[in-house]
Amino acid sequence: MKEMLTDRVLAFLELEQDLLYGKIPEEKRGEYIEGSLRIGREKAGRYAGKDIFELYKQQGIAIVYHKETKGTMGVMLRGQAVMSGREKRVELYQSSIESLAANSSLGGEEGLSCEQALRIHLAHEFFHYLEFAEGKTAAEELPPVLLSRLFGRKRFGHISRCSEIAAHAFAKAFLNLSCLPNAYDYFYLIRTGKMKEEEFDRLCRRFV
C-alpha cells in the first residue's frame, strides 16, 4: 500500500470530492493537482525550521481547545479556523484528534501520536490563516473552471478543494511527514470500520 500513497494519488482523492470536479477538463486535472501541491510546499518553505506553536504566537492566533467533538452534517470536525478583521483563532476538538491518533496506523505505516496529530491540524489551519492574511486562497491562485455558458455569457468558479490539497502539502512539508496527512483520515475510516481496506486500495489504484 505504501507505494500508492504518493502526493499525487492522495491529492486526487481530495480533488474528486470537490463539487465542481466534473467541470474540470480531464486533461487539466493534473495541473490543478500539481499547482495545489506546489503552492503548499512553497509556503511551507518560508517557515522551515520554525515551531508551529511559536508561529501561532507570533501571528497572534489564539488556539481554543474543545474537549468534545463538534459534528457538522454528520462529519466530525477535528479543527477549524475562524478568521476575520476582529479575531484570529483556531478551534481544535481534542477527542476527535485523539481518536484519529489512536486509529492512524495501517499496513505497516507508523501511526501518529496525539502530539503529532495536533501539530498536523495546527499546521493545516495555519496554511488557511496564510490564505486569509494574503487575501487569496490557493484555489483562487489557480485558473477558474467554466461552469456555464448562456447567451454568450460565461460563468466561472474556483475549485475549493485545491486549498485543502495545498494545506495538506504545507503540513507534510512543514512537519516532514511521510505522506500527505489526509492519508490518516482514510486509515481512521478503515480502522473504525467505516471503509474497507479493499475499497481504499481500489480508490488509490485509479490514480496510480
- Quick: pLDDT tens for 1-39: 667 899 999 999 999 999 999 999 999 999 999 999 999
Exposed, middle or buried by CB within 10 Å (0-12, 13-18, 19+), for 176? Answer: exposed
- Quick: pLDDT tens for 164-174: 999 999 999 99
DSSP string, 63-91: EEEESSPPEETTEE-SEEEEE-SS-EEEE
Confidence of residue 107 (pLDDT cuts 50, 70, 90): confident
Confidence of residue 74 (pLDDT cuts 50, 70, 90): very low
Helix 197-205 to helix 7-15 angle (10° resolution) is: 100
Locus of grid cell 475549493: 160
Among the residue ranges 62-71, 131-140, 148-157, the one predicted with the least confidence is: 62-71
